[in-house]
Chain A
Amino acid sequence: MSEIFVIVEHRLGEIRDITFEMLWKAGELAQKLSYTVTTIILGHELNSIVDNISDRADKIIIFDDERLKNFNADIYKEILSGLIEESKPTLTLIGNTSWGMELAPCLSVKTGLPLATDCIDIMFKDDKFIAQRQMFNGKIFSNVSFAESKECLLTIRSGVFPKDKIGDRQAEIIQKDFPLTDIPLKKNFIEFVETAAGDVDISQAELLVSVGRGIGEEENISLIKELAEALGGVVSCSRPIVDKNWLPKHLQVGTSGKSVSPKVYIAVGISGAFQHMSGASGAGIIIAVNKDPKAPIFRTADYGIVDDLFKIVPVLKEKVLELKKG
């Protein structure tokens, strides 16, 4: 029977959400196509992780070894390529995360299997698998197929599939020994560091006014600060603003920044890249101000204002101040 591999992602003893999301999609495809779902866990001291997913897969293959304590793409690649060679899974799903984005390309070259990255859906049409993905930052969608190969690797975007359980499975658990005799220790893990520490905690704010690259110049950020102040809200931002050192890292919303859940999220001059929006998905409502009516943010925002921010933001601020004066 055909098999789907799901590579479990975990960090500091916890399963990452992307694992559940991949298991959901794998479960859905398996139900439809009568495939089986096999998850693979590499790490050390994995009991609680195994317990968490044992009803979501048909088989769990575990490599539990001190040498697997920290993620290392080269070691993962060596072990997984062996397994893939042996079982020839039709699909192998990996998270499109920082780690997965390093693992998948080298695994693809090593196994010779085609790779589609950052997939937002997987479809089975006319007897073949099609991966749906985005280009040009979400302004274009594309369907990708795989030449000559019955098997392929896919990395899956975080947050596109539910985390829920689908179907009812009881996993057979298979413990394997660390198979490598000589470890390609090309890279040595040193430590994790917190890169976004700071005094303001945007994850607790009720109202965020978030500024993006559309602001143009550093000195214009005062415009956003004034609006936030008038509204009694807190300023946050997209990544390019932090990259340019215009605002500190702890104010960044998104996958590599913070997740926020204000009642209202006002996004000004932000295009709506998924890496940004995933951090704002907990917001009650999103109001977007952008001069490009085709900006992807208008697809996910609740309210939109299509205008030059330099025209509209000062008016919004004045109106709010007027109202407050009574």
Chain B
Amino acid sequence: MDIVVCVKRVPLTEEVDLVIDEQKKGIKKDQLAFILNDWDNYAIEEAIILKEKYGGTVVAITVGNEDDEEVLRRSLAMGADRAIRVEVSDISRFDSLGISKILSCVVKDLPCDLVFTGVLADDDNCGIVGIMMAENLNMNHANMVTAIEIEDGKARVTSELEGGLGEISLIDLPALITIQTGINEPRYVSILGIRKAAKKELKIMNLADLGISDEELSPKTIIEEVYLPPETEGAQMLTGDPDKIASDFIEILTKKGVME
């Protein structure tokens, strides 16, 4: 079972005041901490679980700059065999279609039974790259998958639908699957583990190696402007010391008739 997993490094935005950049095309990232996209963490774990069961290899790929290698090293520490980074200094030049084309170009030359991506990236919240890759590569696909079983060269997958419903289907391999959170319990990665994994192969390619021209990658969707959420009335804040907050809280519940 040879599996390729696409992983992305994304900023942590909890409890920070995001600042719009001068061009109003993105946010300032120099003060932010970064992590492996949550969905991709589950995707790597799923690949490693399958490899442990059926043998084979796991290759992690990212499109990004040198800093983005951090997520590849983490993937290697989790158990991936090799990693590939496609050098792109400024990823904001591309839209999801462009990224999907770059990734597809890498994947088409790799032996693979399965390609995993996350359902969604935590930064752009697009949810596009995975299925576009499947179409670029003319590969079978399943979306938002929460369980995978391999049987006779096919994958039996559960796709998550709305309202607590799942849809089970059978797809021929090779296939591209977008992984939903909760499919497994991603393993813990220690600093030592990351250091040990430094011995594993991390290959760097550029767009010229892949034979893709800039023209092929010109974006079809264009971010005109990004901005902070428009003001809304918002919540009425309970303030003061904890005692005061607690009394206000109880008063609200009493008014609503849920406190005897």
A contact residues vs B (CB 8 Å cutoff) = 11, 16, 73, 96-99, 101-102, 104-106, 108-110, 113-118, 130, 133-149, 158, 186-196, 206-207, 231-233, 239-240, 242-245, 249-250, 252, 255-259, 263-264, 271, 284-288, 291-292, 294, 296-307, 311-312, 315-316, 318-320, 323-324
Contact = CB atoms under 8 A, between A and B. Distances in A.
Given A97-B162, A263-B257, A271-B14, A141 B235 contact: no
Contacts of A142: 223-227
A192 B167 contact: yes
B132 A193 contact: no
A186 B140 contact: yes
Given A319-B250, A320-B250, 7 more contacts: A106-B132, A117-B127, A143-B224, A193-B166, A299-B235, A302-B236, A315-B243
Interface string B111-149: 000000001001111111011101110001111101000
Contact of A264 (B18, B164, B258): B258
A263 B256 contact: yes
B6 to A, nearest CB: 14
B223 A258 contact: no
Interface in B222-241: 222-230, 232, 234-238
A145 B168 contact: no
Contacts of A136: 11, 13, 18, 27, 122-123, 125
Kindly name the residue among B165, B170, B221 whose own CB sees the greatest number of chain A CB atoms within 10 A: B221
Contacts of A193: 158, 165-168
Contacts of B14: 271, 292
A239 B182 contact: yes
A189 B119 CA distance: 20
Contacts of A242: 182
22 contacts: A11-B161, A105-B132, A109-B135, A115-B128, A117-B128, A135-B226, A137-B125, A140-B27, A140-B227, A142-B225, A143-B225, A145-B224, A147-B219, A187-B169, A190-B156, A244-B182, A264-B252, A288-B235, A294-B17, A298-B234, A298-B237, A303-B236
Nearest to B242: A315
Contacts of A296: 229
Interface of B: 11, 13-18, 20, 27, 96-97, 100, 119, 122-128, 130-132, 134-136, 140-144, 146, 156, 158-172, 181-182, 185, 218-230, 232, 234-238, 242-243, 245-247, 249-250, 252-253, 256-260
B169 A118 contact: no
Contacts, number: 281
Given A134-B125, A299-B229, A259 B163 contact: yes
Contacts of A115: 96-97, 128, 220-221
Contact of A233 (B135, B160, B258, B260): B258
Nearest to A102: B143
Contact of B220 (A114, A188, A291, A305): A114
A88 B86 CA distance: 36
Nearest to A133: B125
A194 B245 contact: no
* Chain A facing B: main interface SS: mixed
B245 A243 contact: no
A302 B142 CA distance: 39
B259 to A, nearest CB: 7
B13 to A, nearest CB: 5
Contacts of A97: 161-162
B256 A284 contact: yes
Contacts of B140: 186-187
B164 A258 contact: yes
B236 to A, nearest CB: 5
A244 B229 contact: no
A139 B229 contact: yes
A102 B132 CA distance: 9
Contact of B252 (A138, A285, A323): A285
A311 B160 CA distance: 36
A251 B14 CA distance: 24
Contacts of A147: 218-222
Nearest to A130: B224
Contacts of B17: 294
Contact of A139 (B13, B131, B141, B258): B13
Given A114-B220, A257-B164, A305-B237, A106 B135 contact: yes
Contact of A231 (B172, B219, B245, B259): B259
A108 B219 CA distance: 13
A148 B243 CA distance: 60
Contacts of B134: 106
Given A294-B17, A299-B234, A138 B224 contact: no
Contacts of A324: 260
A270 B146 CA distance: 22
B238 A304 contact: yes
Contact of A145 (B221, B229, B234): B221
B165 A192 contact: yes
Nearest to B218: A147
